[in-house]
């Protein structure tokens, strides 16, 4: 009987040991995950701030470290693309944007890729890529402004004007109306340009004073 009690006690202790060991492993794993997550967040913050301050080497190091932890991080590839585009290393930028897009399709990544294609002089690719971005996000004025610039380079004046008109409808302010007026002048529609300029002078207060739209040559952060 004593032997049976001893065996039961041993089994009970063994079972408790197994449970606490498993529990400790879970807790340890959660702790490691938290620490890794905290480090990744610090790296992400560092990369973002460094990009804003044009500290390219520091930003690149942080982003590449993130990719060591998570090689399928589309956001890190997108930021690397932005970094390389800022340094005018456009071939590397294209590679990073294409990887980001393959991992996680995104209109902003497509837009950035289109801008880089434009810088490389690959205008048809730029137009096609920007069209895809506009299909995914139809309400972003900067998409149409960038697209208008590409169409202007391609010599498609009609599409250029239409894109700028659409941007002005989405965000009616002095900047977008001025772009439309300038486009009208380029295609010989001087009377239409004068109408817009006169309307802007008469209705300065009515025109929505929105934040300045980023110029299309810049990639999207």
Residue 176 within a domain:
yes
Which residues form the domain of 208? Answer: 140-216
Residue 167 within a domain:
yes
Q: Say how far apart CA 113 and CA 116 lie, in whole Å.
A: 5
Residue 91 within a domain:
no
Residue 182 within a domain:
yes
Residue 116 within a domain:
no
Q: How many CB atoms lie within 10 A of CB 115?
A: 26
Residue 211 within a domain:
yes
pLDDT at 181: 95
Q: Which two tokens stand for residue 28?
A: 């340890």
Residue 71 within a domain:
no
pLDDT at 54: 86
Which of the residues in the chain have pLDDT under 50?
A: 4-33, 205, 207
pLDDT at 96: 96
Q: Say how far apart CA 214 and CA 38 lie, in whole Å.
A: 32
Q: How many CB atoms lie within 10 A of CB 168?
A: 22
Q: Which two tokens stand for residue 155?
A: 């010599």
Residue 1 within a domain:
no
The CATH number of the domain holding residue 155 is: 1.25.40.10
Query: Crossing angle of helices 74-86/2-52, nearest 10°?
Result: 20
Write down how long the chain is.
Answer: 221
pLDDT at 19: 44
- The rounded radius of gyration (Å) of the Cα atoms in the chain is 28
Q: How many CB atoms lie within 10 A of CB 11?
A: 10
pLDDT at 32: 37
pLDDT at 220: 59
Domain count, the chain: 1
The per-residue pLDDT for range 24-34, each reduced to its tens digit, is 433 434 433 45
The string of DSSP letters for 178-206 reads HHHHHHHHHTT-HHHHHHHHHHHHHTTTT
* Whole-model pTM over 0.95: no
pLDDT at 218: 59
């Amino acid at each position: 009987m004593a032997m049976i009690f001893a065996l039961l006690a041993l089994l009970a202790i063994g079972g408790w040991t197994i449970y606490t060991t498993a529990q400790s492993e879970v807790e340890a794993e959660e702790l490691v995950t938290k620490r890794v997550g905290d480090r990744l967040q610090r790296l992400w913050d560092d990369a973002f701030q460094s990009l804003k301050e044009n500290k390219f080497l520091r930003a690149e190091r942080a982003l590449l470290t993130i990719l060591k932890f998570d090689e399928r991080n589309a956001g890190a590839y997108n930021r690397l693309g932005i970094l390389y585009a800022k340094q005018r290393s456009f071939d590397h930028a294209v590679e990073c944007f294409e990887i980001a897009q393959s991992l996680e399709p995104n209109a902003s990544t497509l837009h950035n890729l289109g801008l880089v294609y434009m810088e490389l002089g690959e205008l048809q690719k730029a137009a096609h890529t920007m069209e895809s971005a506009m299909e995914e996000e139809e309400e972003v004025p900067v998409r149409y402004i960038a697209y208008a610039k590409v169409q202007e380079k391609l010599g498609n004046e009609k599409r250029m004007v239409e894109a700028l008109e659409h941007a002005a409808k989405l965000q009616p302010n002095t900047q977008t109306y001025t772009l439309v007026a300038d486009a009208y002048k380029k295609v010989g529609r001087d009377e239409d340009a004068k109408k817009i300029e006169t309307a802007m002078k008469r209705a300065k207060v009515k025109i929505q004073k929105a934040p300045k739209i980023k110029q299309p040559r810049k990639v999207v952060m």
